[in-house]
Structure 1
């Protein structure tokens, strides 16, 4: 179970919630075979078939890493959006997001939050793999003709979860 500070509502994206003032508990069932992100480079997660399904170039355009995380970005085939992935090795979902601007969701049985990054032309999902491992999958607009960014970001998160299970 993960506890997040949130607005009050009865149900969000099919997840059960309990209310206690401004604290909302989100319970999601994490698959028994949990993936591990330690030692996995973000740029190695998508294969060419996954890149095609997402509509991005198979070669990344940006790569960065430090001792705790790796970040990778790919440009959409129409050059109208960028997809980006950050794998965090020592950060749980509770420390990954600005808790004032999120929507609790579940992606393939994993607790996650959709983050509104200052209302800008981006969409990002933080997905918990274990209590101290998360990844974020995002999409950013590069032009007025960008596709629905949250659909792209969520599709990237699903592709990452599929790849981690292999």
Structure 2
């Protein structure tokens, strides 16, 4: 597993731990019981960049089923390489190009929202807000290697994450691939 995929996995896992762990001490130093709610993160940005006007419920959707062959080939991915890498935390699918110059991971997480990423915005070299097919999206890059992540808010606590990585490609091509894959997945999800 590449270090960038480990970063995405760690980011998703950290989010799930942050959202799901209801034990131990909170920021004030007081102990909480498992039934106590987690404190809300202090997020300075509020507004339409996080709102989802047409929420999609993707609970139970399998990540390997959301990218059609034509869309995969359009960004240079092999249709025969889709590999299910799902965990208990999220449905995940890894796609590869025939020459192995491009890796694209599609993750559908139903326990995180974009607020989780906003709370960590200072950890990314690139943090760009935009929309894909009227859904709020973020383009992220840690700046340490050619990688690009696109997070799309599907509902308040549901996101699509497309992670593009390559040792050969430059970041702009990777982000173009990640955005195109995200747009194609949104079409598929909207038709479901």
The reply to whether residue 125 of structure 1 matches residue 146 of structure 2 is no
| Equivalent in the alignment of 2:61 | 40
Give the Cα–Cα distance (whole angstroms) in 2 for the partners of residues 110 and 139 of structure 1. Answer: 19
The C-alpha deviation readout for 1:136-160, integer Å capped at 9, x for no partner, is: 0121113257871110011111011
Structure with bigger helix share is 2
Larger Rg: 2
TM-score normalised per structure 2:
0.66
Structure with bigger strand share is 1
For the residue of structure 2 that corresponds to 1:165, the secondary structure is: helix
Give the Cα–Cα distance (whole angstroms) in 2 for the partners of residues 91 and 148 of structure 1. Answer: 27
Deviates more, 1:93-102 or 1:151-160: 93-102
Give the Cα–Cα distance (whole angstroms) in 1 for the partners of residues 121 and 181 of structure 2. Answer: 22
Indicate if the aligned counterparts of 1:76 and 1:82 stay in contact, CA closer than 8 A: yes
TM-score normalised per structure 1:
0.75
The reply to whether residue 85 of structure 1 matches residue 106 of structure 2 is yes
Give the Cα–Cα distance (whole angstroms) in 2 for the partners of residues 133 and 144 of structure 1. Answer: 29
Shift of the alpha carbon at 1:103?
1.7
Deviates more, 1:127-136 or 1:95-104: 95-104
Provide the aligned length of Structure 1 versus Structure 2: 144
Could you list the runs of 5+ residues in structure 2 that have no partner in the other structure?
A: 1-42
Q: Structure 2 matches for 1:26-105, cutoff 5 A?
A: 26-28=47-49, 30-32=52-54, 34-96=55-117, 98-100=120-122, 101=124, 102-105=127-130
Give the Cα–Cα distance (whole angstroms) in 2 for the partners of residues 37 and 68 of structure 1. Answer: 13
Q: CA RMSD in A?
A: 2.4
